[in-house]
Structure formats: structure tokens, C-alpha cells
Chain A
Amino acid sequence: MKRLATAALAAVLALLAACRDDALLPADPRPSARLVLPPPEAAVPVTSPRNASYSIDARLFPDDHRLEGTLVLEWRNTTGQPQSTLPFHLYWNAFRNTLSTSARGVGRRAAKADDDRAFGFAHVSAVKLQGDGSEVDLTPTLRHVAPDDGNADDRTVMEVTTPAPIPPDATARIHITWTSRIPHGATGRSGWVHDYHFIAQWFPKIGVFWKGAWNAHQFHPTTEFFADYGTYDVRLTLPTGFVVGATGALVERTANGDGTETFRFREEDVHDFAWTASRRFLERSGRFEEPGYPPVDIRLLLQPEHEELADRYIEATRVGLKAYGAWSLPYPWRQITVVDPAWASGSGGMEYPTLITGGTGLWAPLPLHSPETVTVHETGHQFWYLLVGTNEFEEAWLDEGFNRYHDRKSMFGAYGPKGFGVRYFGLSGRSNSGWPVLAPRVAIPRGEDLRALLRETGQVDVMTRRAWEYRTPGAYSFNAYTKPALTLQTLENLVGDETMTRILRTYARRHVFAHPTTEDFIAVVNEVTGADWRWYFDETWFSSGLCDYAVEVANTPPPRPAGFLDGPSGPVPAPSPAPADEDLAEPVVTVIRLGEVRLPVEVEVEFADGRTVRETWDGQYRWTRFRYPRGPKVVRASVDPDHRILLDVQPSNNAWVEDRGQARRAARKWAARWMLWVQAFLEMHTVIG
């Protein structure tokens, strides 16, 4: 009995151990040390325009999910023209009712309300323009506008009008009082679940005057944000006992004597402020110190059940700070806060200035790169979103796409290729829940997990569209993240890693604390490379075409002479043909462009005698053909032999090889392996029945 019980226990433990195989990538204590990077450039020498600075006082009432606040916005008119109408975002009004533009939208971030808890709002009760000792009430001028879709029920953008225009370079001081009901946090990026509060996009925030007009879009399910830079000085009052994390550094903590505490956070040169509070947070800390980089304190607020993942979170943050710092500009702030969101919250995987949210599961085998990928990605947004503040509403690829490109590059450099795993018995819709089962010996090369999306969604939309105008949420994800990432990886392969780094460093330094556009980036590419790459972006970013090259080989036997040949005095009958030499051929290599995207490609042809030739083709017409004189057969031909074009949707047809029996052996191997599953699947039927 004991032996059987021991054997049974051993069996279960062995199975669990086998499923949690971490052997694919042995844990490295310092993945950040594995990164091979150029030395970083000097730290940012400039400050931001600081033209939208906020001083905020807010009080959280967690029991009835309420928040009351007042703010003073100091807005300096940098528009170059007088302004009297000022738009403000009121994002939480997306959750006000079922009539908002977000609630009418689709996708996982749509403000759908499953129950009353999901509703929330931001109600502005007073707006005043403060002068030298005087105050003008702007509240009567307050009106809600819907610049994107004219939805009269949408309250996510408000406008106020000043009695007199604010002259250029003058600073307006605007005092706003508001109250919010905090929505439940299962759907949106903000909200409460149990005692976990994630409070983002929570205060009335002024729009950006950009490209000669106000840019203050409504809140759509897929869109993110856009704001001007400034200094944030925020005092948050909460009941005692909460651990609080926020944008910036904690400069003051005061016990109020009434069962509440006030936390004061301050940060400069940022364009937003988010915070979180929970009694369950574990607090861990680390530090990023690398030669050539300013040191950064890392503060991790962790769910207790993820305690064993603390070091991995912190190390992934270091990887992000180091890699992105080398590829753009070193992170200039003194601290970064990493938040591990509560289980039931939808706040994971988001970026805010000097504060990010991660996300992971109880069982986190290293090859699946969770929490690493999300942590590196969100850390990356401190560069492509914060240091370079692009418009996430209108050109989402400039932050998400650049970031996806760099997060894959960082992850590959620091952690190696990702493994493949499936989680079983988890909760549907929760990607990190369930027991992870890893596939042995399966590694996903850099960028290859993205290529499948290119095949599926590549033709749905042109990439360069405003974020809410894509046909589907999937098309948004694809065009904001995947396509730009693959396009940049392909560009890196075409211009070289060193040049790509120079491009991105130049772009980052030139547009630090600014709001550059796609055209600004293309201009930098052209400048750094000394060539006009406009065609490349026309074929990719401004197109919905797919890229697909293929190659075919015909080892045509040389013709055997028959009939008449030239003789000394006219045609003579051809001599009897000698036996054909089966090793000789007049090979023909045909390269075909199956997709719409036209990129120049190289073609490598390898002959049976070991000789290799490289051809080039501009890819303009649908196909081209390379003929070779009588000689050894072609044994291998490949288009894009260096695998530079990540945009090619069918890489398997990029090479032709002489078949030496591998096809049959590989087919039998995998059919047999599949058969094992079928055998077990059939046997499973004996359980019922």
C-alpha cells in the first residue's frame, strides 16, 4: 500500500515537473547583462516645454467608490495664436452610461457594463479662470463636444470658453472642481476591484494644440491618449493602511489624524499622472545602475501571490531601461514604479509616466516570458510615449509599434527566443490563468509570433489611420503594434543594426518631450541613411498590401542535339547523341512576387558543385527569371536568403531545395507524432462509455 501510494505521489510530482519544464532557457540571474548594446548617449540635456502643469488635491472614498478633487492647471499658450476655447478630456465619462461612444463600440476595452458597478463618471462642478486676485467663473460656458462622431450622448470631452482670448505665451490659471464615481475595474484601464484601486485618466485634462488645431478626441474603445508636458504636484488623501504608488516621487506623507493620510507626489516633464492604492500590495525595490546611464530606483508593488516573481519583474524593468536607453535616450527620471495588478482588474499592461502596470500568473515558467514581456514593453513606453510624446489617438504605431519592435528586440537579446506553451483549466479571457504546459524544443524566433497576424489581418486596413477608424479591434492591434514592429525590424535588417540605432537615437533626441509625426520619423530615416526611403514606407505603412516572394527552380536537362547542325559546307545531320549526363542541367530559377508589396530582394543560388551566386532583383514586376548555362544542377535557391524581410507572409516558399528525402522523413516524423495524440484522444473515449 505504501509503495503504491508513494508511486502515485511520485507520478503526480513527475508529471507536474515535466509540464513545468524550464530547460528551454536556463534562468540567467542577470538577463540585462546579456544584452549586447552600444554605449548610451548622454542623458537628456533639455527639459520639456512644461506648458500644462497641474497641482491636484484629491480624496479617495473607497467604501462608496468616490473620488473628489480640485486642480489648478497652469496652461501656457504655446500655440502662437490667441486661444479662448479650451477642451478637456473627461475619460471616465466613457463609463457614464451605455450611450457613450466607448460603450457603443466593440473590443475588450469597450466600456460595456455587465452590472451597475461598471458605471462611473467624472462630473465637473466648477471651472474658474484665476487671475491676479480675481476669478472668473467659466462654468456657465461648459459644454460637451463630440469632435469624432457627433455623439450627443458622449461626455468624454468638454470645452470651456474664456471671456477674453489668452494671448500667445501667456499663462492661464484654471481651477477645476470635480467629483467622480470610480467604475469597477474589470473592463477599463482604471477602476476598483476589492480594495485595489487603479486611478488613471482620472482628472480633467486639457487637450493638445497640434498641427494648428486643438486635438482632444473622444474616448474610444481602442484609443489611448495624448497630452502636453508639465509638472505634476499631486496630493492624495486616503484612509490609512493603503500602500500607494504613483507617477513621480513621494515627497511628503502626512497623517491627518482623522483616519486618513495624505501622500504628495511630484514629477517634472511628464504628460500624465496615474496612481494606485491597495492594502494587499507587497512592496519590493531594486535599482538600475549601469555605466553611462543615470541610476533609477525601481519600486515594485506586488500582489502577495506573486512574491516569488519580484526579482523577475525588477530585472525585466532593468532590461527595458538599459535596452531602450541605448536605442533612444537614457531614462532621465529618478524612479519608476512597477505595479502588479490585482487578479480581477483590467488595469494590467499599461503605461503611465514613471509608472507601469505588468501582469502575470501564479505559474510563470521562464520560457513563456511572463511577466518579462509586458514589463519590458511597458517600461519601453517610458521612451516611446513619454520621452517622445506622440499622438496615440491618431498615430498609435509611433509608440506602440516602435515599442513592440524594441520589446521583441530586447527580449530576444536578454532572454533568448520565447518558448511555446498552452495554459489549461484557466479562466476564459484570462491569458495568464491556468496551468502552463510547455512544448519541449520549440522556440519562437524574434518577430515570428507577429508574422501570423500579418497573414490574418494585413489586408484589412492601411496602417496609417486614426486608432478608432480601423475596421475591427484586431485591425487596431495589428496596425498599432504588429505591422509597424515588423516593418521596423525589416528596416533594421535592410539598413543594419548600427544605422537603425542611429536613426532612432536621432529621432528621439530631436523630438524629445515633443509630439513628432510619422513624417518626422521618415525625414530622420532619410537624413541618417542619406537615401530616400519614402518608397519603403509607401509600400508598407501607407499600404494594406501583403509581401510575399517565392522561388521556383527547374533543372532543365540540356537539349540533346538532333536534326541538322552546321557543317563545313552546309547543314549536316547531328551525330548520334551520347548518353545523357544526368548531373548536368541548364537551370532556370524563377522568382515570383505573389504579394502587392514591392521590395528589392536578393536571390542566392547554390549549385551542385558548391558554387554560389547572388543575384538582385528590384521586385517591381510580378516575376523575374535567372537562366544558367549548361552545368551542374541547382541544389538550392532562395529569395531573401538573409531573412531580412520579416514582412514576407509566406517565408516557407522563399527557398527551393533539392529533395534528398527530408520531406518524406519529416512528414512521417510529424504524422507519427500527431498520431500519438490521436491514439490517446481515441482512448479517452473509453472514459465515457
Chain B
Amino acid sequence: MSAAAEGLRRAARAWKLGLLLLGANLLAAALLAVPLAGMLEDEFGHRESAAGMLHGFDYPWWAEWSGARAGWAKSLGPDLLGSGFAFKNVDLLTRGEIPLRLFRAPDAEEAPVDPLLAAAGGAYLLLHIFLSGGVVSVLRQSRPTFTLRGYLHACGFYFGRFLRITLLVLLAALLLFLVYWPIASFLDARAREAVSERAAHAWLFAKLALLLIGLVKLHLVATYARIVTVAEERQSAVLALLSAAAFFARTALPSLAVAAVMAAFGALAVAGWSAFEHAWNTTGYRTQLFTFAVMQALMFSRILLRLGLWSGLLALYERPGAAGPE
């Protein structure tokens, strides 16, 4: 827990870095949102649904609009409201749709992510890999400071190695999903045949937990691999991953605890947002600005929690003797 606390402290001190990452995230999302705004404005022009959507959610308009749309714009819907957006994303993750629909079940019929959005996600992943080199370098400092030039230099310096690590992690994730789908199918069959709905959901949630634990472990190993690469100036992605896996094996419990704390705070942030959206009606420009600020605060907290996780893992890694003999 002290590692989690240390991680949160470092992340808080690196808030400028968080802002930078938020800026990148916002810019990437805005590239899609701005065209959507144009489409919606055309759609609302001289229509009463404009007032309906301005003051609330005009379900008849949305049903009509959504039915007539195909592609990425169709994803605008009430399922994103409240905490729905977070559930939707976790659902997409567990369906193997993230990233680039790489890990979908072999018999999956639906394609819940439009190709354009999937491609945007892929591009963002590349951006994330690039920015990560600088992130680890900054977070290694107990009082993180950075200049943009120095930060970008570190990003470029580690990009190749981090890219190789990511490719290996994607390969590992593919293996994880290849093992998972038959297990999921088996557990679904158990759930379908269960005597009671309670038992059925126990099977279903066990399935979900199994995958999420696997993905979290993979994420932690990948993060340690980046830390090892930067801290020890490793060239080999394979060896960095092996070292990371070995380190994670020794520190699995505290590492998972750090991840659990960050996830819980993330859930709290989403719950806070959901409560806000229940209570607050966005209508005119001023309320829109305020809502936008709250949204970005939510995303900022999400990014800080990511930084907090990385910092927490760094703190574990930096403990005297923690790295152990190689």
C-alpha cells in the first residue's frame, strides 16, 4: 500500500505530465468529435429535436438518427451516458475488440467497434508507446520535473524498444485470448445449463474475472518491462520482458494491490461522474463549458491513475534489493 501511496504522490507531482497526456488524448478524440459536431448540427438544423437534445435526451430523435446511420457516428447513444461509457469500454476490452479488433472470438458475429474507431485506437496506441518512454523517465524522479524538449527526447529515445515490447505484449495477449475463448465457451455453456440464475452469473463473472486478471497481469508485466528498459538501459525487449515477468512473479501481490487501488479510484471517479450527470443538466454554452471541464477532470484523473500505477510499480521496483539477482 505504501507503493500505491507513493505512486499517487508521484503522479500528483507529475500533474504537468498528466496535462500533457490529457492534451494528446483530447486532441486525438477531438479529431473525431469535431466532424460529429458538424454532422449533428446539420441534422438539428431547423428541427425541434435540437431543443429536445439541448435540454435532455430526445429518444425518438436518437432512435431515428441511429437507425439511419452506419459507421462510427452510430456509436453516439444513450448507452454512453452515466457510467455506461466505462462499462462499454470494459466490455469492448473483454470481447477482444481492443486494440484493432485483434483478439475477437472466432465466432463473434457483431462488430461493435467501427473500423474508423478501431483505427483511431490503433493510432492512439502508437502515440501511447511513443509518449511512454518520456513518462517512465519523468516518473523515475522522486520529484518529477521535465522540459518538453527533454521529455520528447526520451520519448524518441525509447520508442523503438517500447514498440518491440508492445508487439511482444500484443502477442502474449493474443495467446491469452486464444486460451480464453474456449474456456469462455465452456463457462458460457455451464452458465446456460445452470439450475439457477445466481449460479449462472457466478459462472459468467468468474469468466470475466479470469480474463481481467490475466489482462491486468499482462499489463503489469508490460509496465515493468518498460521500467526495466529505462532503469537498466536494456536493448532487448525479450530480455526486458523476461526480467519483468520474473520481477512480477516475486512481487505479484503488492503489484496487484497497487493495480487494485488504482482501479478502485478509477471506479470512484466514474461513479462521481455518473452522479454528476444525474444531477446536472447541460444546456447552454456556460453549462457546456462546465460539463466539458468536469469531463476533462475525469479524464485527467484517469490519466493520473495510470501514472500513479506506473509510479507505484516504479516504487516497488526501486525498493532496495527488490530487483534481486539477475
Partners in one complex: yes
A444 neighbours in B (Cβ, 8 Å)? 59
Does residue B157 face the partner (Cβ distance < 8 Å to A)? no
Mask, B43-56, CB within 8 Å of A = 1, is 11111111101101
Contact indicator per residue, chain A 385-429, by CB within 8 Å of chain B (1) or not (0)? 000000000000000000000000000000000001010111110
Q: Which residues of B contact A663 (CB under 8 A)?
A: 41, 44-47, 50
**A18-B83 in contact given A657-B51, A663-B44, A684-B89 (Cβ < 8 Å):** yes
Chain B residues within an 8 Å CB radius of A678: 29, 32-33, 117, 120
Contact with B40, one of A19, A659, A670 (Cβ below 8 angstroms): A670
Q: Are A427 and B57 in contact (CB under 8 A)?
A: no
Docked CA distance A679–B264 (Å): 19
> Does any Cβ of B come within 8 Å of A164's Cβ?
no
B175 at the interface (CB under 8 A from A): no
Q: Does A455 contact B (CB under 8 A)?
A: yes
Segment with Cβ contacts to A, from B12-20, B92-100, B142-150, B234-242: B92-100
Q: Which stretch, A6-14, A229-237, A320-328, A625-633, touches the partner chain B?
A: A6-14
Q: Given A4-B4, A688-B173, answer yes or no on A439-B78 (Cβ-Cβ < 8 Å).
A: yes
Neighbouring A residues of B196 by C-beta, 8 Å? 280, 303-305, 342-343
Contact, CB under 8 Å: A425 / B82: no
Which residues 1-26 of A have a CB within 8 angstroms of B?
1, 4-5, 7-12, 14-15, 17-19, 21, 23
> Which of A135-143, A374-382, A645-653 is found at the contact surface with chain B?
A645-653
B125–A685 CB distance below 8 A:
yes
- Whether A308 is near chain B, meaning CB under 8 Å from some CB there, is no
Residues from chain A with a CB closer than 8 A to the CB of B260 are 8
- Asked whether, in the complex, the Cβ of A451 is within 8 Å of the Cβ of B173, the reply is no
Q: Which of A10, A451, A651, A662 contacts B50 (CB 8 A)?
A: A662
Determine if B201 and A433 form an interchain contact, defined as CB atoms under 8 angstroms apart. yes
Residues B51 and A675 in contact, CB atoms below 8 Å apart: no
Contact of A34 with B by CB under 8 A: no
> Is there a chain A Cβ closer than 8 Å to B25's Cβ?
yes
In angstroms, Cα B44 to Cα A652, docked, is: 9
Query: Are A681 and B271 in contact, CB atoms less than 8 angstroms apart?
Result: no
Q: Are A18 and B219 in contact (CB under 8 A)?
A: no
Q: Are B53 and A303 in contact (CB under 8 A)?
A: no
- In Å, the complex CA distance between A653 and B266 comes to 42
Contact check: which of B29, B36, B47, B278 meets A441 at CB < 8 Å?
B278
CB <8 Å contact, B85 and A676: yes
A687 to B43, CA, bound (A): 36
Closest to A417 in B: B59
Is B193 part of the binding interface, using a Cβ–Cβ cutoff of 8 Å?
A: yes
The reply to whether the CB of A520 lies closer than 8 angstroms to some CB of chain B is no
Please give the number of chain B residues whose Cβ is less than 8 angstroms from any Cβ of chain A in the complex: 116
Query: Of B45, B78, B284, which one neighbours A665 at CB under 8 angstroms?
Result: B284
Decide if A441 touches B125 in the complex (CB within 8 Å): no
Pair B128/A433 contact, Cβ less than 8 Å: no
List the B side residues contacting A213 at CB < 8 Å.
Answer: none
User: Are A19 and B80 also in contact (CB < 8 A) when A427-B191, A678-B29 are?
Assistant: no
A685 touches B41 (CB 8 A): no
Counting chain B CB atoms within 10 Å of each CB, which of A361, A442, A650 scores highest? Answer: A442
**C-alpha spacing A663/B51, complex, angstroms:** 7
Q: Please state if A671 and B37 are interface contacts (CB–CB under 8 Å).
A: yes
CB pair A679–B25 under 8 Å, yes or no, is yes
For B121, the chain A residues whose CB sits under 8 A away are 681-682, 684-685
A666-B50 contact given A18-B275, A343-B194, A425-B204, CB 8 Å threshold: yes
Q: Give B227 Cβ to nearest chain A Cβ, in Å.
A: 15
Closest to A363 in B: B201
Tell yes or no: A669 within 8 A of B by CB: yes
Across the interface, which residues of B come within 8 angstroms of A422, CB to CB? 79, 84, 87-88
**B80 contacts A677, C-beta separation under 8 Å:** yes
Q: Assess whether B98 is in contact with A687, with CB atoms less than 8 Å apart.
A: yes
CA distance A579 to B38 in the complex (A): 35
Decide: A11 and B274 in contact? CB cutoff 8 A: no
Given the complex of chains A and B, what is the CA–CA distance between A177 and B193 in angstroms? 33
A666 and B44 within 8 A (CB): yes
Beta-carbon nearest neighbor of B284 in chain A? A665
Closest to B207 in A: A425
In the bound assembly, the distance between CA atoms of A143 and B232 in angstroms comes to 86
CB nearest neighbor in A for B102: A688
Q: Please determine whether B191 and A667 come into contact, CB atoms closer than 8 angstroms.
A: no
CA A441 – CA B43 in complex, angstroms? Answer: 22
Query: With A and B bound together, what is the CA distance between A11 and B79 in angstroms?
Result: 21
10 further A-B pairs in the complex, CB-CB below 8 A; given A303-B196, A673-B291, A683-B299: A14-B272, A441-B56, A663-B46, A665-B284, A665-B288, A668-B288, A673-B295, A678-B33, A678-B117, A689-B125
A-B residue pairs, 10 tightest by C-beta: A8-B264, A11-B268, A671-B37, A667-B40, A663-B44, A18-B274, A675-B33, A14-B271, A439-B78, A667-B41
**30 intermolecular pairs with C-beta atoms under 8 Å apart:** A8-B264, A11-B266, A14-B268, A15-B268, A21-B82, A343-B194, A343-B200, A344-B193, A420-B78, A422-B88, A440-B277, A441-B57, A442-B78, A443-B59, A445-B60, A456-B67, A638-B48, A650-B64, A657-B50, A659-B50, A662-B44, A665-B283, A667-B37, A671-B34, A673-B81, A673-B291, A678-B32, A680-B85, A681-B89, A684-B93
